Amino acid sequence: MKKAVMLLLNGETLPQLFITIVRYVLPSEDHTIQKLLLLYLEIIDKTDSSGRILPEMILICQNLRNNLQHPNEYIRGVTLRFLCRLSEVEIIEPLIPSILSNIEHRHPFIRRNAILAVMSIYKLPQGEQLLADAPEVIERILAGEQDPSARRNAFLMLFNCAQDRAISYLLSHVDQVPDWPEQLQMVVLDLIRKVCRSNRAEKGRYIKIIISLLNAQSIAVIYECAGTLVSLSSAPTAIRAAANTYCQLLSQSDNNVKLIVLERLNELKSSHREIMVEMIMDVLRALSSPNLDIRHKTLDIALELITPRNVDEVVSTLKKEVMKTQSGELEKNGEYRQMLVQAIHTCAMKFPEVASTVVHLLMDFLGDSNVASAVDVVLFVREIIETNPKLRVSIITRLLDTFYQIRAARVCSCALWIIGEYCLSLSEVENGISTIKQCLGELPFYTAVVEGDSADASKRPQQVNSSITVSSRRPAILADGTYATQSAASETALSAPSLATGSLTALGNLRSLILSGDFFLGAVISCTLTKLVLRLEEVQKSKTELNKACTSALLIMVSMLQLGQSSYLPHPIDNDSYERIALCIRLLCNTGDEVRKIWLQSCRQSFAKMLADKQFNETKEIKAKAHISHAQPDDLIDFYHLKSRKGMSQLELEDEVQDDLKRATGEFTMAGDDANKLNRILQLTGFSDPVYAEAYVTVHHYDIVLDVTVINRTKDTLQNLCLELATMGDLKLVERPQNYTLAPESSKEIRANIKVSSTETGVIFGNIVYETSNVLERTVVVLNDIHIDIMDYISPAICADVAFRNMWAEFEWENKVAVNTVLQNEKDFLNHIIKSTNMRCLTAPSALDGECGFLAANLYAKSVFGEDALVNISIEKQVDGKLSGYIRIRSKTQGIALSLGDKITLKQKGGS
């Protein structure tokens, strides 16, 4: 039987098998065999080519009647379930008395399936003739039924087949609805949604039922209630109740539930921000979850709901969360701390007055082992010290005190820049210089020990400064012909001789990083010392002290150059760092007023300008978003004061007023954009084909719905017409295609669902196959291909420069597209690519100003599946005026890189 079912599902007909099964399988009492038999009977063709029932089907009618009267409850139940899927009236009609007798059976399993069978029969085209009094019978059953599933099925039958009876039953039992079983409450919500969409005037009384269901025991019911409230009403009371419900659901243990609820809250935030602002602390409760995705989504929602009234409370919560990351030993603590630092940074930028409460706490994390988190902290400190002049002294003092704890080169570089720019008073400058000298340790960085000089050189492990010489054991020939070993003088204590050179635990942080070959940091140290010495000239009266500081700075720089050119390190100093350090040495030896102005003022002014540009762009974006709203000049007037109350509740009044406003602002009609719908219609066959087909493509996030209209343009009846589709790419057909019979010059709507699992350009192709009574063979009409556009799945997104660079280094798939365009202006080409690819330009507009013949910009977008798409455009204007260069696309998956590359190749010409 299993083999027969599989063969039938694969398209085999097996007509010769039917009589064998009737003779030998039909009489079996085995439950598994009976279940397989019903599956077999469901699949086989029960009609001939003209649509009449096959005569041999009469043989199974008696068997089905016997099953419906079988003493075993399981056999009765599965047979009733099988009848739900039958559409042949000739087979069903003799069985109706047996079906009705099962409605009042003592076992609930049989009753619930009998009710479903009645519903499916009543929904057939001739159903009302077969079961004329079905609604009355089911309503009577519903009144006395105790089994939850049977009650649910009975109410569902009334909902689908006799909606007026379902509504009257619901309204007569309004007080009992909160105590009904969960399954029945879900059907009630479906009924309310359907009734309110068709009859908006009756919405008020049903919303009261939904509000009462918000206190139900079932979480699923509560979630559905909140969703129904939001979809039906815009009244503040209703939205507040829905938001409260969603916030309560955030306490659920299931992470998937939390993510779904946060998505709903995010939607509410965009349409009802003023109500969500009140809920911000409830939303932040989701931070208690250890899942990083939940925490990230929670912070994203909260940051857009911050106002001057609640910012202190939010920042206080974020500070507590930062403190928790110190104590816990969770592996993701570093990443979570980085997210919190970024969130606090955003709060401090929007509301500078809170910066003073958080900056000192965050500075404790400058030495964080998570480098990304430490970088975020130091960038935050850099921005705060510029925007909050009152905090400058305390930040500099704290930075100098904690500088020795910093372990990452990037964090050291930024901290040194802050010290160089913002140490202004005499004490600050002197402390800055001494801090850097302490972290560099004793000079020189390495010593050359002449082996032939004295026999006891090897016997003297300690030197005057109590340091150990760690030798690299590589002899070098000196100018006089003697041999020497190159070694690095380190500050390793005598008690711990086992520590290697460069170990971060014993050495100064700057010294260990330079001994590991980081000469870019050496160049930053030189620049910082140069700035501090130049500033010391302005604040230090004593020439002696000034000369001391200048010579010690020069000695450090020369020592770094000497180390960089020695053979002690595996890699010599790079040319850029060498030139930068040499420039600092020349500058300290001979300083002019113009150069002093550049080093002490211009650098900081550039930083201030960058911050101002950033602030301007953010403000511009906020204003652009604000202009989209549908607010009218008079929307502050409470119109319900002018309405006649007629005993209506506050909620009903608010809802009616909101509906009036929506009607006035055109929100009810905005959904039906007919012109946009016409653009989505694709012609699948030619006008001269016997069958004409066109499809309307609806792209949701995770699935595509094809509504295909098929028109028979011939004078013949088309039999077994089938729309056969296949896909290429990460697309998957959900259902098996069905066969249809199409009358002459008639049409048929066929719906096909396709699941999408990743962002890439997919192709749907196929054909329409049919038979006619005149021709024995099948006719095939090939369809045009449907290309699914990647643009439906990606949207512009924002990403920090550091995160962009990290992803660019990590992602393994790169697609390199050569620029080939008729456009001759670099910015026009950039704007054309941004518009064509639906991406956001991360490069600041100020960086793209001016005309230099070159342009480099980074673009970023995110897909609905959470995939990142990175694009770098590098173009140059040639002598003949044409643009040349490359567009590089990087992503984690191959599909998005290739699809985006194809899209750019297609669009970059400058056409449509």
**Cβ 697 vs Cβ 691: under 8 Å:** no
3-state DSSP call for residue 838?
Answer: coil
From residue 190, give the alpha-carbon distance in Å to each of 159, 160, 166, 210, 242: 9, 11, 12, 11, 17
The residue written with tokens 């020939």 in the block is 477
Q: What is the pLDDT of residue 643?
A: 52
Model pTM score: 0.68
pLDDT of residue 705: 86
CA distance 307 to 301: 13
For 550, the 3-state DSSP assignment is helix
Tell me the C-alpha distance between 556 and 528, whole Å: 12
Contact criterion met (CB below 8 Å) for 524 and 408:
no
Cα–Cα distance for residue pair 878/887, rounded to 1 Å: 17
| Helix ranges, 650-777 (H) | 650-665, 667-670, 674-679
What's the pLDDT at 524?
Answer: 93
Going from the C-alpha of 303 to that of each of 251, 324, 687, 845, the distances in angstroms are 20, 20, 55, 25
pLDDT means over runs of 10, the chain (912 residues): 81 78 82 85 77 78 86 89 86 88 90 91 85 87 88 89 88 87 89 81 79 86 89 84 90 88 89 88 89 90 89 89 76 80 85 83 81 85 88 90 88 92 90 91 70 40 37 46 46 34 54 89 93 87 87 91 85 90 89 81 87 80 60 50 52 61 49 57 89 87 84 87 84 79 88 78 85 77 84 81 87 89 86 88 81 88 85 90 90 84 79 46
CA distance 96 to 121: 9
- Region of residue 407 (left: phi > 0; alpha: psi -120 to 50; beta: else): alpha
Give strand pairing partners of 781: 768
Cβ neighbour number for residue 765 with a 10 Å cutoff:
16
d(CA 15, CA 12): 9
Maximal CA-CA distance, the chain: 120
Q: Which of 721, 717, 716 lies closest to 738, judged by CA?
A: 721
